[in-house]
Amino acid sequence: MSNAVRSLEPRPLWNHFADLNAVPRPSKKEERVIKFIVEFGEGLGLPTSVDATGNVIITKPGTKGLENKPVVLLQSHLDMVHQKNADTNFDFDQEGIRMVVNGDWVEAEGTTLGADNGIGVASIMTILAANDIPHPPIEALFTIDEETGLTGAKGLEGGLLHAKYMLNLDTEDDRELTIGCAGGIDVTANGDYMQEPVPKGLSPFRLGVKGLTGGHSGVDIHLGRGNANKLLNRLLSGSASQFGIRISSVDGGSLRNAIPRECFAVVMLPYEEAVAFQAFIEHEAASLKAEYRTTDPDLAVVCEATDTPTSVMAKAFQKKLMAVVYACANGIYRMSPDIKDLVQTSNNLSRVLAKEGQYTIQCLTRSSVDTEKVDLANALKSTFELIGAKVALGNDYPGWTPMPGSRLVKLMSGLYEEMFSEKPHVNACHAGLECGIVGQHYPEMEMISFGPNIRGAHSPDEKVQISSVQKYWGYLLRTLTEI
């Protein structure tokens, strides 16, 4: 499978990407990929170091004629989001990504691909390893744990880097030059609840919503895609009103920065209501499919008999749980009044887990306005506290303030227009990028983020466009000669 990828052009870049994707690299478990990058840098004879956080820094002198140019920082993150389809047998901790070429796209078999941010990492590796690519002095920064808290960037110390310009290779549309981004904060609610023995005369069912499109909770939040946690809660609430169901457990979503694609619950109801319950769910499923036919064409509702659980939630807590999930803000909270079509503030209800007397509800709140981010996080905190939850606000990271008049933005905008006969989309994004955090340590550094077309990031539908990688690669190389 990877052989087809290795034959793509530019061949050195794709080969480095294939080598990287053979190394398991989940967030917070980056030991193997750190070792891989360190051995790569040392094998080239380049100064290579690992900081106290685990970020890898490799430096390379400028090529002849460019050796006295300002230092350029090339930056990408080593970790990747691990998501797979429910029917895919794959161990992210042990296996390399199974890549396939499908027309003009590289995809993975039932899992995330790791193009986010593996293409950026592979690009930097290619420049470091090449003898025929003109470039100024390079500082290559490979950060860790970007996807689950940006802790690598947060832990980066001031004084380690000397670059004047930073090229972050983590944007997912080759028409865009990103010059600003949103900050974020995690909202996590935990608590205990009373359980009761399963009443007699009840039949067990496994109820679920699956097959949603999902995606990146920043990049894709404006597309109106279904959130499995919210949709299943809708079914549970309706079923409670109609049939008095008793809930045993709820398990939905996974990663804080991925729009939930699946959510399942085990419920009990009077056996004489089973036929009517299944008919009700079928009717509600048809409504959901109609509502989300455009954004989530593969939406499916599961309603099947299952094993009898040992307990159910106490009625009082069951009512509170459904109410608080219903009340939890999800999706766009406010659009920017200053930048057209930019989501200013949003929330992703990323995880709902209630099982064996304990529950967790997780959200990732984003905003390009820090005060509004905190205000929404406090609103969510207040909502969860109404059911007695202990709520923590954590992993707070800043946004990145745009500098549209900087030399770097003007230079790269002009190069783009010259090379591709159209103006780039110079914008800010709603995703979290490491630029804002790095900028806190190095406030004088000019920054920009760009990259090839990547679609479906943070989901098993992730893919990267081959022709776009070629376009982006040529643009990156030209930038290095002009910067």
Phi, psi of 422 (to 5 degrees): -155, 160
Q: Are residues 363 and 429 in the same domain?
A: no
Residue 91: both structure tokens together = 């161990």
Residues 50 and 89 in one domain: yes
Confidence of residue 339 (pLDDT cuts 50, 70, 90): confident
The CATH number covering residue 23 comes to: 3.40.630.10
Name the residue among 260, 255, 257 with its Cα closest to residue 296: 260
Which residues, other chains included, contact 263 with Cβ-Cβ below 8 Å and sequence gap of 6+?
208, 209, 210, 228, 229, 231, 232, 233, 250, 251, 252, 253, 352
What's the number of domains the chain is made of? 2
Same domain, yes or no, for 25 and 164? yes
Q: E-strand spans in 253-317?
A: 263-270, 300-305, 311-313
Single out the residue of 375, 374, 377, 342 nearest to residue 363, CA to CA.
Answer: 377
CATH number of the structural domain spanning residue 265: 3.30.70.360
Task: Give the end of a domain, one of 397, 425, 450.
Answer: 397
The confidence band for 186, taking pLDDT boundaries of 50, 70 and 90, is: very high
Q: Determine the Cα angle at 348 with ends 347 and 351, to 5°.
A: 140
Q: How far is CA 343 from CA 168, 302, 366, 393, 427, in A?
A: 21, 33, 9, 22, 12
Q: Is the pLDDT of residue 420 over 90?
A: yes
Helix axes 11-21, 115-129, angle to 10 degrees: 120
pLDDT in tens, 384-394: 999 999 999 99
d(CA 309, CA 457): 36
Question: Do both 272 and 208 map to the same domain?
Answer: yes
Structure tokens that stand for 64 in this block: 């002849």
31 noted as active-site residue: no
Q: What is the mean pLDDT of residues 158-164?
A: 94
Catalytic residue (one of 79, 147, 174, 186): 79
The catalytically annotated residue of 116, 145, 146, 147 is: 146
Residue 83 has what pLDDT? 87
Whether residue 383 is found in the same domain as residue 324 = yes
Tell me: the pLDDT tens digits for 288-316?
999 999 999 999 999 999 999 999 999 99
Q: How confident is the model at residue 126 (pLDDT cuts 50, 70, 90)?
A: very high
Q: Do residues 159 and 10 share a domain?
A: yes
Shared-domain flag, residues 246 and 361? yes
Q: Is 30 a catalytic residue?
A: no
Of 382, 397, 412, the domain-final residue:
397
Q: State which of 397, 422, 456 marks the end of a domain.
A: 397
Residue 200, pLDDT score: 92
Reply yes or no on whether the pLDDT at 1 is more than 60. no
d(CA 286, CA 297): 12
My answer on whether 143 and 192 are in the same domain is: no
Task: Note the pLDDT of residue 431.
Answer: 85
Q: What percent of the chain has pLDDT over 70?
A: 100
Kindly state whether residues 195 and 313 are assigned to the same domain: yes
Query: If you count them, how many residues does the chain have?
Result: 483
Q: What is the pLDDT of residue 86?
A: 79
Considering the domain architecture, whether residues 154 and 264 belong to the same structural domain is answered as: no
Tell me, yes or no, whether 346 and 445 share the same domain: no
What share of the chain in percent tops pLDDT 90? 89
**CA–CA separation, 241 vs 225, rounded Å?**
26
* DSSP bridge pairs for 345: 334, 367
- DSSP summary character for residue 61: P
Question: Would you state the pLDDT for residue 440?
Answer: 87
pLDDT at 241: 95
Tens of pLDDT, residue by residue over 4-33, are: 999 999 999 999 999 999 999 999 999 999
Average pLDDT over residues 98-102: 97
- Note the pLDDT tens digit of each residue in 232-245: 999 999 999 999 99
In the prediction, which pLDDT does 432 show? 83
Average pLDDT, the chain: 96
pLDDT tops 70 at residue 122: yes
Q: Assess whether 391 and 407 both reside in one domain.
A: no
Residue 189 has pLDDT above 90, yes or no: yes
For residue 402, the model assigns a pLDDT of: 87
pLDDT band at 399 (very low <50, low <70, confident <90, very high): confident
Q: Which domain holds residue 70?
A: 2-182+399-482
pLDDT one-digit tens code per residue, 55-84: 999 999 999 999 999 999 999 999 999 989
Q: Is residue 309 reached through a cis peptide bond, with omega within 30 degrees of 0 on the bond before it?
A: no
The predicted structure's pLDDT at residue 255: 85
Average pLDDT of the residues in 87-108: 95
